C-alpha cells in the first residue's frame, strides 16, 4: 500500500506540473522551462529514477525540435517516466505513471535497394 501511495503522489505531482505548464501563457523557452520539473543533467534524472523506482532507459528518440525524448520504465512494476532533454538545456519530466506494457512487436524488414 505504501508503494501505491508513493506512485500516486509522484503521479499527482507530475500531473500538477504538467497542468501548470499547459495553462501558462505561451512565451519564451525560459518561461516554459520554469514550469516543469527539470534537472540540469539527464544522468542525474536517470540515476534518481533507477534508485527510487527501478526504472531504466527503455526507449529514446529525437523530436522535431531537436529534443531528446527518453522513456524510462520498470518491467516488473510497470512504472514509467517520459523526459525530454532540451537542446543545450535541462532534462525535464513531461509525464509519468503506471501500467507500462513491454511488448515486442515483429521486426519489419528494412527497405533494401533493388537492382
**CA 7 vs CA 3, 10, 32: distances in Å:** 6, 5, 25
pLDDT tens-place string over residues 79-100: 999 999 999 889 999 999 999 8
Judge whether residue 105 has pLDDT over 90: no
Whether residue 68 contacts residue 83, with contact meaning beta carbons closer than 8 Å, is answered with no
Mean of pLDDT values over 57-65: 94
Judge whether residue 13 has pLDDT over 60: no
Judge whether residue 24 has pLDDT over 50: no
Judge whether residue 16 has pLDDT over 90: no
Q: How confident is the model at residue 18 (pLDDT cuts 50, 70, 90)?
A: very low
pTM: 0.60
Amino acid at each position: 500500500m505504501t508503494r501505491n501511495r508513493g506512485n500516486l503522489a509522484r503521479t499527482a505531482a507530475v500531473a500538477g506540473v504538467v497542468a501548470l505548464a499547459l495553462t501558462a501563457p505561451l512565451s519564451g523557452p525560459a518561461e516554459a522551462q520554469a514550469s516543469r520539473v527539470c534537472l540540469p543533467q539527464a544522468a542525474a534524472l536517470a540515476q534518481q529514477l533507477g534508485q527510487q523506482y527501478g526504472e531504466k532507459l527503455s526507449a529514446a528518440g529525437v523530436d522535431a525540435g531537436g529534443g531528446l525524448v527518453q522513456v524510462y520504465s520498470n518491467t516488473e512494476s510497470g512504472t514509467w517516466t517520459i523526459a525530454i532533454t532540451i537542446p543545450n538545456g535541462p532534462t525535464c519530466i513531461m509525464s509519468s505513471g503506471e501500467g507500462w506494457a513491454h511488448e515486442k512487436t515483429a521486426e519489419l524488414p528494412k527497405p533494401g535497394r533493388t537492382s
